[in-house]
Amino acid sequence: MCKHPCVRQDVFSHARKNLAALEVGDLLGTRKSWNFLKVIGMPRKKLKNEDEILSHNLIVRVDAAQFNKLEKLRIESNCQTVAEIVRRILSGKKINCFYTDVSMNAPMEELVSIRKELKAIGININQITRTFNQEKTSENNRAYYVMKVADLYKKVDEKVDTLLLLITKLTEKWLQG
């Protein structure tokens, strides 16, 4: 038994009781064999700055309407708890709220689809270019590959035009002030 003053003696007595109860064949590295440590509990890490410790407990009662407002603010903000919201309000710190604009869903979906289509067209152009450069074919086959690439570039032009129209609409909406 360790007699060092820094080591808690209850840990050893608790461990001796629980480790003695292990059956033959139990592995000491398993989670089951070390579950007894959960009972003991670990202290929290000490903060370097003593002023940051939340040591004073305040109990405040609010009605349901006020609590719902605080809860709504918690959901919209980057705070994890209502208590954190109240602390920020009391200390005058900023609360960052995040809102989503539902009217932007359709244009964003269209932008995503244009991006996917442009990526697919780029992959097709790369494949055609690779076959064009690898094959030793006649001029007719090379002309065929050139025509395929030209058609793909026309599709790119159409997608870019659609993209520019979308961006114009977005700039009108967001830069109207």
Rg (CA), the chain: 33
Report the distance separating Cα 138 and Cα 143, nearest Å.
Answer: 9
Residue 106 sits at φ, ψ, to 5 deg, of -65, -50
Q: Taking each helix axis from N to C terminus, what angle separates 105-134 and 139-174, rounded to the nearest 10 degrees?
A: 160
Contact 144, 81 (CB under 8 A): no
Report the distance separating Cα 132 and Cα 147, nearest Å.
Answer: 12
pLDDT along the chain (177 residues), means of 10: 50 54 56 59 69 78 93 90 91 86 80 90 90 77 85 90 87 74
DSSP 13-52: HHHHHHHHTPPTT--TTSHHHHTTHHHH--PPPPPS-GGG
Report the distance separating Cα 54 and Cα 79, nearest Å.
Answer: 16
Sequence-ordered strand ranges (E) for the chain: none
Specify the pLDDT at position 19.
Answer: 53
Residue 32 sits at φ, ψ, to 5 deg, of -60, -40
Contact 98, 74 (CB under 8 A): no
Specify the pLDDT at position 3.
Answer: 52
Specify the pLDDT at position 68.
Answer: 94
What DSSP state is assigned to residue 122?
H
Tokens linked to 98 = 């995040």
3-state SS assignment for residue 117: helix
